[in-house]
Amino acid sequence: MVLPATLSSVNALFTGHERAIAFAIWGSTIGGVAALGPLVGGWLTTDFSWRWAFFVNVPVGVLIVVGIALFIPETSQPEAARGTDLAGNALVTLGFAALVAALIEGARYGWWTALTPLRLGALHWPSGWISPIPVATVVGLTSLAAFVVVERGRRRVGRPVLVDLSLFSIRSFSAGNLAALVVSLGEFGVLFVLPLFLQGVRGYSALGTGTILLALASGTLVAGGLTPQLARRISARGVARLGLALEAVGLSLLALVIGPNVGGWTLVPGLLVYGLGVGMATAQLTGVILADVPVAQSGSASGVQSTVRQVGSALGIAILGTVYVVDIGRRTLAGLARVPGLATPARDALAAAVRASGGAVVHTLPPGPVAEAAARAVATTTRLDAALAALFILVGLAATFRLPRQSPPA
C-alpha cells in the first residue's frame, strides 16, 4: 500500500529536473535500504531474537506516520471517481496468489501427479490424484482473465476500477511495466538464493551475510548521487539501460566467482556493480513508466507499477527458488554417487536433507568427500541461478528498446 502512494506523491509534487532528482533519491533509498535489511536483520537475529525482525517495524512505523503527518501534503484528486472495486480486488488477488503458489509448491506436490498429500483445514488432497498445481494454475489464469473482463465492464459504465486498463495504451507505461516485470524476476530472485549459499555452504552467520550484502547497498546509494546528472545527459531511458547492463555484469561476475570455497570479499566487486545498476535502473525505469501518465491517474498507474514489480519479485523468487531447490537435490545425489563406499540409502537421505534445508545442512557435515560433494552441488546451483538472473535482466534490457524516446529533463 505504501509504495504506490509514495510514487504517486513524487509524481504529483515534482516536475522536470526536480522530478528526476526525486525519483533518483526514491530509487536509491528503496534499493539501498532493501539491501541494508539483511544486515539489520542479521544483527537482530544474532544478538537479540528473530522476533525483533518483526518488532522493529512498530517503532519505524510510528516514525513514518508522524513524518507523513508533518511533511507530506495531500495530493489526491477530488474529481477522481470514489468507491471500491471489490470484485477486481478479489479476482486479481486470487489470480496472482494461485499462480505464485503453483510455482513455489510445484516441486513439492508434483507438476502433474500429486506426490505429497495436501491438507488445508478440512480439505484433503491425497497423493496419486492429479496434482493441485495444474488446478491452481488454471484457477490463477482464469481469475486474471475474469479480472480483465470485469475491469473493462466497470470502466465502460463509469464505475470505479482497481486498474484503468486504458493506461496500457500509453507506450511508455506498457513497455516500461513489461521491462520492470522481467527485471524484478532477476533482481529479487538472486537475493533469495545468495544468503542460502553464504550461510549453508560458507557457514556465515546471518550478521556476516548481511555485512557482505552491504556492498550491494553501497553501490545502490552511490548510484543515487550519480543518476540525476546522468539523466540530464543521456535521458532517463538511457540511464535505465545503463543500470540494467551493470546489473547483468554484476550478476555475471558473481556467477563466475561463486564456488565451494569462495571468500566473502571475492563477492564484493560483483555485488557493488550490481548495486550500482539497481540504483540507476530502479528510479529511472519508474520515472519512464510514469512520465506520460496524467497526474490525475498517477495513483492508479503507481499502483500498477508497484504491483508489477511485486509480482515479478514473487515470480522470480518462485522460479529461481524452485530451480535452486530441485537442482541442489539432483546435483548432490549425482555427486554423492561418486563417493566410494557410501550406501545408497545414506546417499538418498543426505541428498534429501540438503534439498529440504536449501543447503543449510552442508556446513554442519564433517569434513570429507561427502561435505565436499554437497558443497560443490550447492555452489554450482547458486552459479546457475546467478546466470539465470542475469539472463532475466538482459531480457528486461531488451524490452526497454520498446520505450519511446524522451528528452532529458530541463
CATH number at residue 266: 1.20.1250.20
φ, ψ of residue 406 in degrees (nearest 5): -135, 140
More confident: 149 or 47:
149
Q: What is the pLDDT of residue 201?
A: 84
Q: What is the pLDDT of residue 80?
A: 56
How is residue 318 written as a grid cell? 518462485
- Contact indicator for 39, 106 with CB cutoff of 8 Å: no
| Nearest residue to 4 (alpha-carbon basis) of 231, 293, 279 | 293
Q: What is the pLDDT of residue 74?
A: 79
Q: How far apart are CA 49 and CA 298, in angstroms?
A: 40
- Contact indicator for 183, 284 with CB cutoff of 8 Å: no
- Whether 222 is covered by a domain: the verdict is yes
Q: Is the pLDDT of residue 215 over 60?
A: yes
pLDDT confidence band for 357 (50 / 70 / 90): confident
More confident: 14 or 145:
145
| Nearest residue to 25 (alpha-carbon basis) of 407, 239, 280 | 280
Q: Is the pLDDT of residue 312 over 80?
A: yes
- Contact indicator for 4, 303 with CB cutoff of 8 Å: yes
What is the tally of structural domains in the chain? 1
More confident: 71 or 237:
71
Predicted TM-score (pTM) of this structure: 0.77
- Whether 366 is covered by a domain: the verdict is no
Q: What is the pLDDT of residue 5?
A: 77
> Average pLDDT for residues 298-304, to the nearest whole number?
76
> Average pLDDT for residues 279-291, to the nearest whole number?
77
pLDDT, the chain, mean: 82
Q: What is the pLDDT of residue 141?
A: 94
- Whether 29 is covered by a domain: the verdict is yes
Q: What is the pLDDT of residue 285?
A: 78
Q: What is the pLDDT of residue 407?
A: 52
pLDDT tens digit string along 238-255? 888 888 999 999 999 999
- Whether 313 is covered by a domain: the verdict is yes
Q: How far apart are CA 361 and CA 328, in angstroms?
A: 12
Q: Is the pLDDT of residue 408 over 80?
A: no
> Average pLDDT for residues 255-261, to the nearest whole number?
90
- Whether 290 is covered by a domain: the verdict is yes
DSSP 359: T
pLDDT tens digit string along 43-98? 888 788 888 888 988 998 999 999 988 988 877 665 555 678 888 889 989 998 89
> Which of 54-68, 203-217, 359-373 is least confident?
203-217
- Contact indicator for 404, 179 with CB cutoff of 8 Å: no
* Percentage, residues of the chain above pLDDT 90: 12
- Whether 362 is covered by a domain: the verdict is no
- Whether 64 is covered by a domain: the verdict is yes
DSSP count for the chain of H helices, then E strands: 12, 2
The residue to which cell 518483526 is assigned: 54
Q: What is the pLDDT of residue 148?
A: 92
Q: What is the pLDDT of residue 308?
A: 83
Q: What is the pLDDT of residue 406?
A: 60
> Average pLDDT for residues 283-287, to the nearest whole number?
75
How is residue 402 written as a grid cell? 520498446
Q: Is the pLDDT of residue 409 over 70?
A: no
How is residue 275 written as a grid cell? 548495486
Q: How far apart are CA 163 and CA 147, in angstroms?
A: 10
Q: What is the pLDDT of residue 32?
A: 67
pLDDT tens digit string along 165-201? 888 888 888 888 888 888 787 777 777 788 888 888 8
> Average pLDDT for residues 304-312, to the nearest whole number?
81
Q: What is the pLDDT of residue 77?
A: 60
Q: What is the pLDDT of residue 355?
A: 85
What range does the domain containing 287 cover? Answer: 2-74+162-334+379-402
pLDDT tens digit string along 93-126? 999 889 888 877 887 787 888 877 787 777 777 7
Q: What is the pLDDT of residue 109?
A: 81
Q: How far apart are CA 242 and CA 223, in angstroms?
A: 11
Q: What is the pLDDT of residue 290?
A: 76
- Whether 344 is covered by a domain: the verdict is no
